[in-house]
Amino acid sequence: MPEGGFLRATFALSALVSLALAGCRESGGEGEHFELSGRLFVFNYRVATVQYLVTLKPLKPVGEGEVAITTFENPAGGAAIVVRQKIWPLNDKVTINSPPLECVVKDRPYKVSIRIENAKGELMQALETTMASSQDQSVLPDKPLVVGPFYDPNPELEGHPDGHLPGGRGVTCPPAA
């Protein structure tokens, strides 16, 4: 990694988190169970991944057996990414992460839908939003920078200090709209 590259990546991630959290507050309406309290793309430069992250704030006591079923638009195209997560009654927030993504494009809005269901599987609330990244996935290295429990330099990146390989990430992304 070029000298200062880690600091620039850390600063960019900090700025991204601050901007995303500042601009994503949505208040719940009368009778709603949750409000969307945060949404952002999390770029992890060290392991070369990007994920959706959404947080919900309970507005009412959470019942036993409630779940959040979140459908994220897949930036790489194809089927949507669905995450089903139990909501714990004593937690003051619900954090929902997607698996690692490919093909995230700067400033492109991606759709996110959240269904809150009770223990019987009945819909309690539906939330819809969009998320846009302030960075392209191209800012990440093509492979993790380190591997193993001792954070050894990734041998696949030997000779490529910037983390970018001649063949790229090996993923074909859909054309930008």
Amino acid at 100: P
Strand-pairing partners, residue 70, are: 83, 114
In angstroms, the first-to-last Cα distance of the chain is 31
Question: Whole-angstrom Cα distance, residue 41 to residue 97?
Answer: 10
CA atoms within 13 A on the CB side of 25: 4
Query: What is the rounded average pLDDT for all residues in the chain?
Result: 86
Residue 126 belongs to some domain of the structure: yes
The arithmetic mean of pLDDT across residues 116-122, rounded, is 96
pTM: 0.80
pLDDT at res. 5: 52
Residue 104 belongs to some domain of the structure: yes
Residue 165 belongs to some domain of the structure: no
**How many distinct structural domains can be found in the chain?**
1
Q: DSSP letters along 81-110, please? A: EEEEEE--TT-S-EEEEPPP-S---BT--E
pLDDT at res. 2: 53
Determine contact, residues 53/36, Cβ cutoff 8 Å. no
Range of the domain at 46: 5-137
Tens of pLDDT along 64-110? 999 999 999 999 999 999 999 999 999 999 999 999 999 999 999 99
Tens of pLDDT along 18-51? 444 333 334 445 679 999 999 999 999 999 999 9
CATH of the domain at 113: 2.60.40.10
Could you tell me the two tokens for 158? Answer: 């030997």
